[in-house]
Amino acid sequence: MRKTLEQILDIGSPRELRQCLGRFALQKADEASDSFLRSDVEDSCRQFLRSVYDVASLSFAGLYINGSLDIRLEVDTGEVRHGRRDEFDPSKASYIKPVISQENNKSTLVCPVRFRDVASYGVAVFEKPTFTAEEVAILRHVVFKLANHMNNIGDKPEMRRKAFTDAVTGMYNKWKWEQDYPELLMRCKDKRQEVGVIFFDFDYFGKLNSTYGHIYADGVLREVGKIMQKTVREDTDLVYRYGGDEYVIVVPGASAAKTETIARRVADNIREHVFESMGDLPPPEVTVSVGSVSSGEEGLESNDLVSIADMRMLRAKGFGKDIVVSNVPIDSYTGIASMPLFLPHLKSRLKQANRESGGNVGVVLFDIVGFGDFVRSKGGDLSWDLFKQVAKWFYDARSDFDYVARAYSRDQMVVSLVGAQKPEEFLAHVTGLASDYVKRAGSVAFKYGEKDYHFKFAAGGVVYSPTRHVCLLENPDVLFTSAENVSERASKDHTKVIIEDYC
C-alpha cells in the first residue's frame, strides 16, 4: 500500500518504514547503508553523506552529531567539509520527529539520528528542489541504519554521554531535556509536588556574536552555563541548553514564588558577572530575559509549562529585556505588589478613564541611576538589601499615588496616578510630582550596617488622556511599555525626569 509523504514522516519504526519501500527502492537504500559501515565514527559519517547524496540526487547534505562533529557535503566540489552553514542551528531542530519544510523553491528534510528511545546522536539535513515520498522513505531508512551503526561502535556509555551533552557548554542538551522532562513531571505528580520551569534567553546575543566573534560568544555561553549550575540547587534542579542562546532550568518541588526567586537570582548573578575582555574591547555586559512558571499557579492557560515560560520570556523581551516575568502577585523580595497585581489595576483605571469624561491615567517608573554598576562593585547582598529599603520608602509614600508596585526590571518602582484635570494640567501635575520624588528619594540615607548610602534617581513615564485620542486605549501592557521606553531614556540622562503624553 502506497503511503503519502506525511505518512512516511510519521512512521517511527524502521521495520514499518522498510515495508513501505518497493524492491528497487529497498535495494538502493541497502546499498547506501552498506557503504558506510566503518569502524570509525567520522569515517562512517563522511561516507554516509556521499551515499545519500548520490542515492537521492541531493543539492545539499549535512550531518550534525550533537556539536562534536559537524560536516557537510559541498555541491560544487563534491567534497565533505567540516563546519555548519550559518543559517542552520542544529540545537533548535527536533530530535524526536523528522520535519520537512519548503522555502524559496527548496525543500529541506531534517531527520533525527536516533537509535530507538536509547540515544539520539544528532540530526541529518537534506536539501533538493522537492522530495518524493519514496525519496524521503529511502533517506529515513538510511538514517535509521546510521543511528543503529553508531550505537554498535565505540564505547556505548561514552557515546550516550555525548548524545546527552551539549558540545559547546558541556551542559545537558535539548535531547536530554526531551528525555527527562516527561519523567520528571510524572514523578512530581506522583509525589503531589509542584514543579517550576524557567526559560532564559540572552539579550542582544547577535550583537555579542558580531562584535566579539563566535569563539568568544561560545565562551560566554559556557560561562553562563557555569553560573546557572552554581546558582541552582545542585541536588535537585536541572539546567539544560535548550537551543542557540536559550536555556531552561527545571525546579522540582518549587512554588511560583520559589521559582521566581531562583530565576531572579540566576539573572542577577549573570548580570553581575564580569566577563573577560578581548583585546581593546571592554568586557560585555551580559543580561537575560526570563520567563518563570510553576505548576502550582492557579488559572494557567495550559499544562504546557515550557510554552508558558517561553511566552513570559517573550513578554520580558517586549518590556525592555533584562527582566523576569512571572505570575507572582506579591514580590517575594520586597513584600509589595508586583506586576501581576499592578497591570489588572491599571486596566481597571483605563476603563474608568475611558468611561468618564475628563479622566486621566499616568504611569511613572522610578529608576536608581547606575544601580547595575553599584551591584557589580558592592556585591548582591548589600545592593539588594538597599533596594528593599528603597522599595519600602516608595511604598510608604503611596498616599501621593494611585498604586505602587515593583516593576519587572530589577531596580525599578512603578506607580500609577489618576486625575480629572485638563490633559495639560494633569501632565504638569505628574511631571511635578515625579520631579519632587526624584529629589526627595535622592536625599534619603539608606543604611547598611553602620554606613549610609545615597542614590540618584531618574523618572520616566506617560500620561493618557482619552479626550486626546480617537481610538481609546484598553491594554495596560501598551501603556506600561510606553512608560518603560520613556524611563529608559530618562535613566541615560542621569537624574532627569521625562513625562510625556501617550501617543
Q: What is the pLDDT of residue 152?
A: 75
Which of 11-20, 400-409, 438-447 has the highest mean predicted lDDT (pLDDT)? Answer: 438-447
- How many helices (H) and strands (E) in the chain? 16, 18
CATH number of 5-163: 3.30.450.40
**One-letter-per-residue 3-state SS of 377-410:** HHCHHHHHHHHHHHHHHHHHCHHHCCEEEECCEC
Cα separation of 376 and 75, whole Å?
Answer: 51
Residue 261 has pLDDT above 60, yes or no: yes
Query: Regarding predicted confidence, which is higher, 304 or 89?
Result: 304
pLDDT tens-place string over residues 97-135 = 888 888 888 899 998 888 776 666 778 888 899 998 889
The residue among 401, 324, 331, 326 whose CA lies nearest residue 366 is 401
Q: What is the pLDDT of residue 301?
A: 67
Q: What is the pLDDT of residue 220?
A: 94
Residue 157 has pLDDT above 70, yes or no: no
392-400 average pLDDT score: 87
- Angle of helix 214-231 relative to helix 205-212, nearest 10 degrees, comes to 130
Query: Regarding predicted confidence, which is higher, 335 or 431?
Result: 431
Q: What is the pLDDT of residue 259?
A: 92
CATH architecture of the domain covering 339-501: 2-Layer Sandwich (3.30)
Dihedral angle computed from the Cα positions of residues 208, 209, 211 and 216, in that order, rounded to the nearest 10 degrees: 90
Residue 75 has pLDDT above 60, yes or no: no
Residue 1 has pLDDT above 70, yes or no: no
Strand order in the sheet with 403-406: 403-406, 412-419, 360-368, 457-464, 497-501
Residue 156 has pLDDT above 60, yes or no: no
Strand partners, 365: 414, 460
168-186 average pLDDT score: 83
Strand order in the sheet with 60-65: 80-82, 69-73, 60-65, 119-128, 106-115, 99-103
> Are 174-325 and 339-501 in the same CATH fold?
yes
Residue 377 has pLDDT above 60, yes or no: yes
Strand partners, 278: 281
The residue among 489, 371, 487, 390 whose CA lies nearest residue 434 is 487
Looking at 74-78, 103-107, 186-190, 204-208, which range is the least confident one? Answer: 74-78
Q: What is the mean pLDDT of the chain?
A: 85
Residues 6 or more apart whose Cβ sits within 8 Å of residue 103 = none
> What are the sequence ranges of the domains in the chain?
5-163, 174-325, 339-501
Q: At residue 293, what is the residue type?
A: V
Residue 89 has pLDDT above 70, yes or no: no
Query: Regarding predicted confidence, which is higher, 415 or 116?
Result: 415
Residues 6 or more apart whose Cβ sits within 8 Å of residue 48 = 36, 63, 124, 142, 146
Q: What is the pLDDT of residue 459?
A: 95
Is the domain spanning 174-325 CATH 3.40.50.20? The answer is no
pLDDT-above-90 percentage for the chain? 36
Q: Are the CB atoms for 181 and 250 separated by under 8 Å?
A: yes
At residue 373 the predicted structure's pLDDT band, cuts being 50, 70 and 90, is confident
At residue 226 the predicted structure's pLDDT band, cuts being 50, 70 and 90, is very high
Sign for the CA dihedral angle at 63, 69, 74, 78 comes to negative
392-421 average pLDDT score: 88
At residue 34 the predicted structure's pLDDT band, cuts being 50, 70 and 90, is confident
496-502 average pLDDT score: 93
Q: What is the pLDDT of residue 389?
A: 93
Query: Regarding predicted confidence, which is higher, 366 or 145?
Result: 366
Strands of 162-255, DSSP E: 195-202, 238-243, 246-252
At residue 35 the predicted structure's pLDDT band, cuts being 50, 70 and 90, is confident
Q: What is the pLDDT of residue 262?
A: 93
Q: What is the pLDDT of residue 335?
A: 85
